[in-house]
């Protein structure tokens, strides 16, 4: 088939869509659902700016066909905050200064949320390893690592 009807559960809400089979999850989230917090950087899975959580696991959405995500639960950056209240990780990133241009931040936040969900007390080494698929051209990673470490301590 060339077009499919799929159902995506994004940030707890179900969306029914008819889309061409050659659309990536990044494209559908950004262009069909207008959730532009997920970024497209390299489009080939090397930068991590397209990171979303798929059934809780951080993945490069640019390498996933949207039709393959049919019926799956997706969390984008828009789903992290609780209304107006920032997620502890988001607050930590703001407080510690882990955001410069912000392009990597959605991916960094989702990857680190998945890390803390799985490993609530990671070492610095574990944090750096967990974010090794998310590139940042601005910060040099130090503040990002400190922010994740501080969120783990409090959150």
| Residue 67: both structure tokens together | 């039709």
CB of 13 to another protein, least distance (A): 23
Where does this chain touch another protein (CB under 8 A) — which range of 5-13, 40-48, 84-92, 136-144?
40-48
- Tell me if residue 95 falls in helix, strand or coil: helix
CA 47/CA 40 separation, integer angstroms: 9
Question: For another protein, which is the closer residue by CB, 79 or 107?
Answer: 107
Strand partners, 74: 10, 54
Angle, alpha carbons 22-103-144 (nearest 5°): 125
Question: Contact between 31 and another protein (CB under 8 A)?
Answer: no
Nearest to 130 by CA among 146, 114, 117, 143: 114
The binder of another protein chosen from 6, 10, 24, 35 (CB under 8 A): 24
Instruction: Return the residues of window 70-109 that contact another protein according to CB under 8 A.
Output: none
Site residue total, another protein (CB under 8 A): 31
Nearest to 66 by CA among 52, 77, 83: 52
Q: How many CA atoms lie within 13 A of 66 on its CB side?
A: 28
Instruction: Return the residues of window 42-71 that contact another protein according to CB under 8 A.
Output: 43-46, 48, 51, 54, 57-60, 62-65, 67-68
Question: Contact between 113 and another protein (CB under 8 A)?
Answer: no
Question: For another protein, which is the closer residue by CB, 20 or 155?
Answer: 20
Are the beta carbons of 76 and 64 closer than 8 angstroms?
Answer: no
By the criterion CB under 8 A, which residues form the site for another protein?
Answer: 1-2, 4, 20-24, 43-46, 48, 51, 54, 57-60, 62-65, 67-68, 111, 129-130, 132-134
């Amino acid at each position: 088939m060339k077009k499919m009807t799929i159902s995506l559960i994004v940030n707890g809400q179900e969306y029914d869509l008819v889309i061409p089979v050659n659309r990536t999850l990044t494209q559908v989230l950004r262009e069909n659902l207008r959730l532009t917090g997920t970024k497209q950087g390299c489009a080939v899975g090397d930068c991590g700016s397209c990171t979303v959580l798929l059934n809780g696991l951080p993945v490069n959405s640019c390498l996933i066909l949207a039709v393959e995500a049919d019926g799956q639960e997706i969390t984008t950056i828009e789903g992290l905050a609780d209304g107006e209240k920032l997620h502890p990780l988001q607050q930590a990133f703001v407080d510690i200064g882990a955001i410069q241009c912000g392009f990597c931040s959605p991916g960094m936040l989702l990857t680190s949320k998945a890390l803390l969900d799985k490993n609530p007390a990671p070492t610095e080494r574990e944090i750096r390893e967990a974010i090794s698929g998310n590139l940042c051209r601005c910060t040099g990673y130090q503040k990002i690592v400190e922010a994740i470490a501080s969120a783990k301590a409090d959150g």
